[in-house]
Amino acid sequence: MSVKEKIAQLREQIDMHNHRYYVMDDPIIGDAEYDSLFRELQSLETRHPELQTADSPSLRVGAAPLKVFAEVQHRTPMLSLNNAFSEGEVRAFDARIRESLGMDEIEYAVEPKFDGLAITLSYREGVFVKGATRGDGSVGEDVTENLRTVRDIPLRLKENIADVELRGEVLMFNRDFEALNASQRAKGDKEFVNPRNAAAGSLRQLDSRITAARKLSFFAYALGYCEGVTLPGEHHQQMALLQSWGVSVTKQRRVVRGVEGLLEYFRDMGEMRASLPFAIDGVVYKVNDTVLQQRLGFVSRAPRFAIAHKFPAEEASTTLLGIDIQVGRTGALTPVARLAPVFVGGVTVTNATLHNEDEIRRKDVRIGDTVIVRRAGDVIPEVARVVLERRPSDAREFVMPTVCPICGSHVSKAEDEAVSRCSGGLFCPAQRKQALLHFASRRAMNIDGLGDKLVEQMVDASIIRTPADLYRLGILAIVNMERMGEKSAVNLLAAIEHSKQTTLARVIFALGIRNVGEATAKDIARHFGSLDAILAADEDALLQVRDVGPVVAKSIVSFLQEPHNIEVLEQLRACGVMWSEHEMQSTVEQPYSGKTFVLTGTLISMSRDEAKERLEALGAKVSGSVSKKTDFVVAGAEAGSKLEKAQTLGVTILDEQQFTRLLEIN
Ligand code: IVH
């Protein structure tokens, strides 16, 4: 391709992207990619001035204004800024300025680079008369009526300045953006991609009542034409003057000296960025002295005295090569995008989360698609959206596997849940460590001395795979673990041995079935009386158990349908884990059968666990949260929100003394 053809191709591409970005508010490439096209064109045009034309997009800043708004000719052009993407480019900028001015050190006014939409506001005798978008830099769109709805744009300045034009940025605060998208979602309308597009979409409404309903904000960052006031000779002071007129300017502006001052500000703002209430995409450096600004002057579309130092792009487009499945410690299956490497947010990204199957459907992501990858702050990179225009004809839909890619157990998904899960809880290597720790925990099998470090080592060394392996451990295997003395090893073996004599409720709880907590495990044990009866139960039978609803019943069935889990249970029995069956099936009505207690605050005479056990021995159920169904709340010292809730709901409240009396008389 000849240089001329390449230039023509770049102009066409940039025009198209400008249109999508500025007119349609629906960009299909990230900022970094756009910047790189723009720079390529600029550099070719600089090297081949004979190929420059008056209509090149490099000379324009945005797209042509929408025809429906009246056109406004700007009295002084609305300029753009050159960009720096690296420390080297910032040093070169400072060196250029020092050299042209013949000075050793420059004082700069530094500000955030607001990620919004440039506008100009005209005031006559202090009254707001006209507001316009930048458009192509010389002609913009008249959006006066819409701008009047922006609350922090003053309709009258505090000074009656004869004739002044303010330049600044309209943007949407993050919280207002979230709220707007939530309401778009609720109405079934299209959501906005980011706050800047939301701000642009809101400002370009032909009906200003719609703009008024959207919360827009404004920050001024420069003066345009000005008559009737003597301006201070420094940019920073000019901003302070605007503030004294009642105009909104940012608190984050500073004056710094030299290039080190610039770079320090860049670092500081980079750190502050995530906690700012609005989006910024970099910082802007301006020579503070306005006389020096004039001496430096302008090149085509941008001033020589200022530069934007951009943060690394947080969005970039790339190809989705495939979708892998990751199995988490709790068995959740997460689809992960495998991407062609792309530089985004300062790092090269090759994987990004797709969250879950519903998200993939909602975003209509297919393998082979061009996707926009987003990385904000420290957040894990995610696939933000698909560029449908670039979908290849052979793009493939993703299908969630029906078996776990790690252990081959079946995968299930509750109707009202987005997450798919592996049901091989006791068997799946991905869930092994978590499952073992839960199994050994105090309220489950109560194996003292089996902590997370030990489990980690034993699993990593493949000494234990399932809970049944614990009962086959020999002393040698344990002693060989790090930080394991002979005495602790003997104690651990004794604890394991001791745990074999247990209760059915503990075994059920120890299995780590999703949604089956200690209380439910007890209810189930009491209801069925034997493990075989539980294994034989279907969903309907499980629904007969007190407090077991459809969600819990489904989890249990799904767990027990998995042959791998049954195998582990059989192995446990074969290893000598035992409990006396039927002992808990109680037909005698106990004093507090059917009553629900909630314990809150600190009890002096006994631990929370003891209180719970004693209540349960009386047939009561102990729950963690207060509801209308709660019969009693036991409030110890420093009881907080649960006590308040009990008071609002009118639940009977017992103090410690009343509670201990209740235990004594029963
Ligand atoms: S000064 C004469 N200051 O960035 C210089 N611009 O990429 C005029 N922007 O069109 C611009 N924050 O929309 C300036 N603190 C700031 C800015 C800022 C955001 C925008 C503005 C401009 C664009 C250039």
pLDDT band for 19, please (50, 70, 90 cuts): low
What integer pLDDT is reported at residue 24 of this predicted model?
61
Contact 325, 334 (CB under 8 A): yes
Structure tokens at 376: 């904000």
Distance 487 CA to ligand 1 centre (A): 71
Kindly give, in sequence order, each residue whose CB lies less than 8 Å from that of residue 331, ignoring residues fewer than 6 positions away: 404, 421, 422, 423, 424, 425, 428, 430, 431, 514
Alpha-helical runs (H) found in 190-284: 195-203, 208-213, 235-244, 258-272
Phi, psi of 404 (to 5 degrees): -65, 125
What integer pLDDT is reported at residue 61 of this predicted model?
43
- Side-chain half-sphere CA neighbours of 263 within 13 A: 13
Hey, which of 83, 134, 217, 221 would you mutate to test ligand 1's pocket, going by the most ligand atoms within 8 Å of its Cβ?
Answer: 221
What integer pLDDT is reported at residue 531 of this predicted model?
92
Structure tokens at 123: 């005031």
Whether the pLDDT of residue 54 is over 70: the answer is no
Q: Does residue 80 have its Cβ closer than 6 Å to ligand 1?
A: yes
Closest CA to 471 of 489, 453, 452, 498: 498
Whether the pLDDT of residue 583 is over 60: the answer is no
Q: Does residue 221 have its Cβ closer than 6 Å to ligand 1?
A: yes
**Rounded CA gap, 209 and 205, in Å?**
8
**Rounded CA gap, 550 and 557, in Å?**
10
Contact 354, 324 (CB under 8 A): no
For the question of whether the overall pTM of this predicted structure is more than 0.75, the answer is no
Whether the pLDDT of residue 581 is over 90: the answer is no
The question of whether 113 is a catalytic residue gets the answer yes
User: DSSP assignment of 472-518, as one string?
Assistant: T--HHHHHTSTT--HHHHHHHHHHHHHHTEE-HHHHHHHTT-TT--H
What integer pLDDT is reported at residue 580 of this predicted model?
76
What integer pLDDT is reported at residue 514 of this predicted model?
86
Whether the pLDDT of residue 378 is over 60: the answer is no
Task: Provide the 3-class DSSP secondary structure of residue 340.
Answer: strand
**Rounded CA gap, 426 and 429, in Å?**
9
pLDDT tens per residue across span 317-374: 999 999 999 998 789 999 999 999 988 876 788 999 898 999 999 999 999 999 999 8
Which residue out of 6, 67, 113, 612 is catalytically annotated?
113
Phi, psi of 340 (to 5 degrees): -65, 130
Closest CA to 499 of 451, 438, 459, 442: 442
Hey, which of 35, 114, 304 would you mutate to test ligand 1's pocket, going by the most ligand atoms within 8 Å of its Cβ?
Answer: 114
**Rounded CA gap, 353 and 549, in Å?**
32
Whether the pLDDT of residue 72 is over 80: the answer is yes
Structure tokens at 304: 């020589």
Distance 412 CA to ligand 1 centre (A): 52
Q: Does residue 22 have its Cβ closer than 6 Å to ligand 1?
A: no
* Number of neighbouring beta carbons within 10 Å of residue 165: 21
Closest CA to 115 of 73, 174, 54, 62: 174
Contact 534, 388 (CB under 8 A): no
Structure tokens at 232: 């201070």
Q: Which atom of ligand 1 is nearest to the CA of 134?
A: 10
Closest CA to 552 of 526, 519, 529: 519
Structure letter (DSSP) for residue 75: S
Q: Which atom of ligand 1 is nearest to the CA of 115?
A: 19
Distance 229 CA to ligand 1 centre (A): 23
- Letter for the amino acid at 218? F
pLDDT tens per residue across span 117-152: 999 999 999 989 999 999 888 899 999 989 988 888
Whether the pLDDT of residue 207 is over 70: the answer is yes
**Rounded CA gap, 449 and 444, in Å?**
14
Q: Does residue 308 have its Cβ closer than 6 Å to ligand 1?
A: yes
Q: Which atom of ligand 1 is nearest to the CA of 303?
A: 2
pLDDT tens per residue across span 379-398: 678 899 999 999 999 999 99
Q: Does residue 269 have its Cβ closer than 6 Å to ligand 1?
A: no
Closest CA to 263 of 87, 493, 505, 33: 87
Q: Which of the two residues, 376 and 488, has the higher pLDDT score? A: 488
Query: Beta strands 621-623 and 632-635: pairing type?
Result: unpaired
Structure tokens at 515: 């949604």
Task: Among 58-62, 199-203, 419-423, 578-582, name the one with the lowest average pLDDT.
Answer: 58-62
Kindly give, in sequence order, each residue whose CB lies less than 8 Å from that of residue 552, ignoring residues fewer than 6 positions away: 515, 516, 520, 542
